[in-house]
Amino acid sequence: MSKLKLMGKNHSDELYTPEGAIDILLPYLKPKTVIWDCAFGTGKLAKHFEEKGFIVVGKQEQDFFNTDSDMVCSYIITNPPFSKKIRFIEECYNRKKPFALLLPLTTLEGIKIQKMFRENGIQILFPRGRIDFNGKKAPWFYTCWFTWGLNLPEQLNFMKAQQQEVKS
């Protein structure tokens, strides 16, 4: 995830993706394809995907909103700054590439976002528990993968306990 370079940073914009958070996505991705991590941050998410055999494009200084819309990739997968979640979702829909964005469950709130989801479709992949972003074993909110174009089995997909263990 990208760190904001603004005064008065939003603390929820500096949460980096633990490896276990990507494991639940793997069954829905074609192996060895290209993933664009468009909110690169420290590169932690990219490293996890590369270790699983994927090719990851994206750089820390790259601006998702001002990058060529013909970026060669199979998927856009990232953990964007939560304060910019609506803008990231809009841009992903506009690019018409399958995407998965790790976002708080509260993303479902709001008239504008609900209209976008209703018009474009959305599938959600719910982890078994809260994702521990800070390694303190005390996550304070629930996040899930908001996806489009991954052809998940259901609109709402809940992981069973034996399917996934989120680790930091």
Mean pLDDT on 38-49:
89
Directed axis angle between helix 111-120 and helix 85-95, to 10°? 20
pLDDT at 77 over 60: yes
Angle at alpha carbon of residue 35, lines to 152 and 11, rounded to 5°: 90
Task: Say if residues 148 and 99 touch (Cβ distance below 8 Å).
Answer: yes
- Name the token pair of 137: 């074993």
Contact 43, 79 (CB under 8 A): no
Domain ranges of the chain: 11-163
Helices (H), ranges, the chain: 19-23, 44-51, 85-95, 111-120
Average pLDDT, integer, range 104-131: 94
- How far is C-alpha 136 from the chain's CA centre? 21
Confidence of residue 43 (pLDDT cuts 50, 70, 90): confident
**Percent residues over pLDDT 70 in the chain:** 84
What secondary structure letter does DSSP report for 151? -
Band the pLDDT of 2: cuts 50, 70, 90. very low
| Residue 18 pLDDT exceeds 50 | yes
Place of tokens 């259901």: 154
Q: How much is the average pLDDT of 119-133?
A: 91
Residue 161 pLDDT level (bands cut at 50, 70, 90): low
Find out whether 28 and 9 touch, Cβ atoms under 8 Å. no
Q: Which residue has the higher pLDDT, 92 or 159?
A: 92
11-163 has CATH 3.40.50.150 classification: yes
